[in-house]
Every structure is written in structure tokens, then in C-alpha cells.
């Protein structure tokens, strides 16, 4: 089997990380099938970003799947709870969405099995998001086992591979990879809480991580920010 003919499902949020993960999947020779979950998140701009990235990467199919996680709430991204702007604290932030990556990977697995694909790509990175439990390598490994046991394909001997190529990278390395892959970082959207006129706020955890990453990498970030945090 030639590598070029193999389908992969890539979880594409529209953020920088998933853009780079998708770019790496394409570079590795996979045919891309992109899944974006429209989970009624506060930062809906990222869905448009995902569509731009999917077009740029010439994915075979892009599914934008509505799933109203506001029904459950429990996160600053899916409720009226305020997005913190004071910088990255310790512990798990209020922007954590209960079981989000497990839900997204399960959906990606459903599509993969229906399509006969065995490879899933997700842009988690444990360094930046050490606060998010579902970005840790042990979670990804455990999901691979659940995927094997949950599926017809797994029961008949097929193994699903969950690729998390950014797992051990920080944001600076990810910014450099975007550049190396020739992907315009301006296509991606990271801010959790855009301003009324649609600028990135510059102060939420996600903006701070991104600004610091580009600064550290010595690369200009094409995104326009409404503010810049004084403390990196």
C-alpha cells in the first residue's frame, strides 16, 4: 500500500496547533479528512479559520459538525463564565471543557471507522496545556486502547493510531513548524474571547501562549491583537 493513498482524519479546530498537526499529516503523505466540531464555543471565529485552513490544505472532505456542548456547560468557553485574563495560573483553568478531547476523538474515530481509515491526528501539546488533562500522553495512549475495544475494526484486528505530533512541543516550536511547512499562521485563530470588533483580545491564556511562542521563536505573528500582556 502506498502511503499517499491512506486517509487520515484530522481534528481541525482552526487554532495554530491543529493547523500544524494537519500540515504534518499532509507532509507525511496522508489524504486529509478534516473534522471541526462546532460546539457552540465562545470563540466561533475559529470555525471560519478551520474552513480556510482546510481549503489551503486541500482536504478531501471537511465536516463541520454541530454539537451543542452549551447544553452541558461547565466551562468558560461554553457558558457565561468569564474567560480569565490575568495570565496563566496553576491548576486546570476554567476554559477547560469537560471531556472535550475525548468527545472529539470519539467522533473522529466514528468517521475513521466508517471511512476505513486508521490514522487520527490531533494537535494537543502537553507542554503548553499542562493544565488540560486531556492533552497528556497517557490520555492519548488510553484512548488508543478504548478505540481498539470500541470498534468493529478493532475487534477484527485493525489498530487505530492516534498521532499527536505536537505532543512534546512548546508554542515557539509550533510557530517555527508552521513557517517551515509554509502555512500562514494568520489563517489560524487562537483567542478565546475576541473583542466586539473581532480582534484577538491578547490577554486570555490562549493569546498569551501564542504571543509568547511567536516572540520566543522570533517570528512575526500576523494576528492583530487588541492588547499585549505586559508580562510574558
Number of residues that bind a second copy (CB under 8 A): 46
Residues near 177 by beta carbon (within 8 Å), at least 6 away in sequence: 20, 23, 24, 166, 169
d(CA 97, CA 34) in angstroms, rounded, equals 21
Cβ atoms within 10 Å, residue 182: 9
Residue closer to a second copy, measured from CB, 136 or 215:
136
Using CB under 8 A, which of 7, 31, 88, 151 touches a second copy? 151
Binding status of residue 118 toward a second copy by CB under 8 A:
no
Residue closer to a second copy, measured from CB, 96 or 121:
96
Ramachandran bin of 88, using left for φ above 0, alpha for ψ from -120 to 50, beta for the remaining angles: beta
Binders in 177-216 for a second copy, by CB under 8 A = none
Residue closer to a second copy, measured from CB, 38 or 216:
38
Angle formed by the axes of helices 171-180 and 205-217, nearest 10°: 60
Binding status of residue 80 toward a second copy by CB under 8 A:
no
Binding status of residue 142 toward a second copy by CB under 8 A:
yes
d(CA 84, CA 193) in angstroms, rounded, equals 10
Binding status of residue 106 toward a second copy by CB under 8 A:
yes
Contact 19, 26 (CB under 8 A): no
And the C-alpha cell for 118?
A: 486508521
CB of 54 to a second copy, least distance (A): 15
Binding status of residue 25 toward a second copy by CB under 8 A:
no
d(CA 194, CA 42) in angstroms, rounded, equals 9
CB of 192 to a second copy, least distance (A): 17
Using CB under 8 A, which of 96, 121, 169, 214 touches a second copy? 96
Burial of 213 (0-12, 13-18, 19+ CB in 10 A): buried
Binding status of residue 115 toward a second copy by CB under 8 A:
yes
Using CB under 8 A, which of 55, 60, 155, 224 touches a second copy? 155
- Kind of pairing between the strands at 61-66 and 161-163: unpaired
And the C-alpha cell for 19?
A: 493547523
Binding status of residue 139 toward a second copy by CB under 8 A:
yes
CB of 136 to a second copy, least distance (A): 7
Applying CB under 8 A, the residues found at the interface with a second copy are: 63, 65-69, 71-75, 92, 96-103, 106-107, 109-115, 133-134, 136, 138-139, 142-143, 145-147, 149-152, 154-156
Amino acid at each position: 500500500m502506498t502511503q499517499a493513498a491512506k486517509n487520515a482524519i484530522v481534528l481541525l479546530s482552526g487554532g495554530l496547533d491543529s493547523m500544524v498537526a494537519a500540515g504534518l499529516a499532509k507532509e507525511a503523505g496522508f489524504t486529509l479528512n478534516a473534522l471541526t466540531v462546532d460546539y457552540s464555543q465562545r470563540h466561533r471565529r475559529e470555525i471560519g479559520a478551520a474552513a480556510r485552513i482546510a481549503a489551503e490544505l486541500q482536504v478531501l472532505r471537511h465536516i463541520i459538525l454541530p454539537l451543542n456542548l452549551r447544553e452541558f456547560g461547565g466551562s468558560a468557553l461554553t457558558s457565561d463564565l468569564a474567560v480569565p485574563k490575568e495570565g496563566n495560573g496553576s491548576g486546570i483553568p476554567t476554559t477547560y471543557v469537560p471531556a472535550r478531547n475525548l468527545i472529539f476523538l470519539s467522533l473522529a474515530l466514528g468517521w475513521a471507522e466508517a471511512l476505513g481509515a486508521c490514522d487520527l491526528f490531533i494537535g494537543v501539546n502537553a507542554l503548553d496545556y499542562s493544565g488540560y488533562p486531556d492533552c497528556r500522553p497517557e490520555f492519548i495512549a488510553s484512548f488508543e486502547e478504548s478505540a481498539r475495544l470500541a470498534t468493529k475494526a478493532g475487534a477484527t484486528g485493525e489498530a487505530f493510531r492516534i498521532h499527536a505530533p505536537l505532543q512534546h512541543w512548546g508554542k515557539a516550536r509550533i510557530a517555527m513548524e508552521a513557517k517551515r511547512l509554509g502555512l500562514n499562521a494568520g489563517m489560524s485563530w487562537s483567542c478565546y474571547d475576541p473583542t466586539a470588533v473581532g480582534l484577538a483580545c491578547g490577554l486570555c491564556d490562549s493569546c498569551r501562549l501564542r504571543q509568547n511562542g511567536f516572540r520566543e521563536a522570533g517570528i512575526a505573528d500576523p494576528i492583530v491583537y487588541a492588547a499585549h500582556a505586559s508580562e510574558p
